[in-house]
């Protein structure tokens, strides 16, 4: 089991002092789109995990996984954002976040690096952004030729019933 612990509030080389943590995001990719989640919400990053289906759960809930004895609800970001499923051949990475004392796993195609973003460079959501993405986006950042969508984790976890 591949696992990486995110050190919250710790300074890392090239990232800046711990005081900049509110501006730091963990990058992840969903269907080729670069996204970011605030690093302060992230508890763990896990490789492919065994996920147990949950009967009668909303369709964006892939199931649950066991993280050191705690049951974690796994949310498929592709389904949550209205995208086509990844298919069975590729396993999803898990970004474990904590909201309101509960743990959730955000299933993404890939997990990247921790970036420090300048809040002044954040732009509003473009009008062409899909409504499913717009409702969970805090804005966008241009990173070279790519556009990073900054995800609002709390809104992302408002699931259909």
Which CATH class, in words, describes the domain spanning 26-156? mainly beta
Give the model's pLDDT for residue 48.
87
* Cβ-Cβ contacts under 8 Å for 107 (sequence gap 6 or more): 62, 74, 75, 76, 77, 78, 92, 93, 94
pLDDT (tens digit per residue) in 8-45: 333 333 344 444 455 899 999 999 999 999 999 999 99
pLDDT (tens digit per residue) in 64-110: 999 999 999 999 999 999 998 776 546 789 999 998 889 999 999 99
Domain boundaries, the chain: 26-156
Give the model's pLDDT for residue 3.
42
């Amino acid at each position: 089991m591949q696992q990486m612990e995110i050190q919250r509030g710790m300074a890392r080389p090239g990232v800046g002092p711990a005081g900049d943590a509110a501006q730091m995001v963990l990058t992840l990719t969903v269907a080729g789109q670069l996204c970011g989640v605030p690093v302060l919400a992230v508890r763990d990053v896990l490789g492919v995990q065994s996920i147990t289906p949950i009967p009668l759960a909303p369709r964006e809930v892939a199931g649950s996984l066991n993280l050191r004895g705690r049951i974690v609800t796994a949310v498929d970001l592709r389904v949550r954002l209205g995208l086509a499923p990844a298919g069975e051949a590729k396993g999803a990475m898990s970004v474990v976040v904590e909201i309101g004392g509960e743990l959730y796993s955000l299933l993404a195609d890939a997990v990247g690096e921790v970036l420090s973003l300048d809040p002044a460079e954040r732009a509003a959501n473009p009008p062409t952004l899909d409504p499913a993405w717009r409702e969970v986006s805090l804005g966008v950042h241009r990173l070279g030729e790519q556009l990073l969508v900054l995800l609002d984790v709390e809104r992302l976890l408002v699931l259909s019933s």
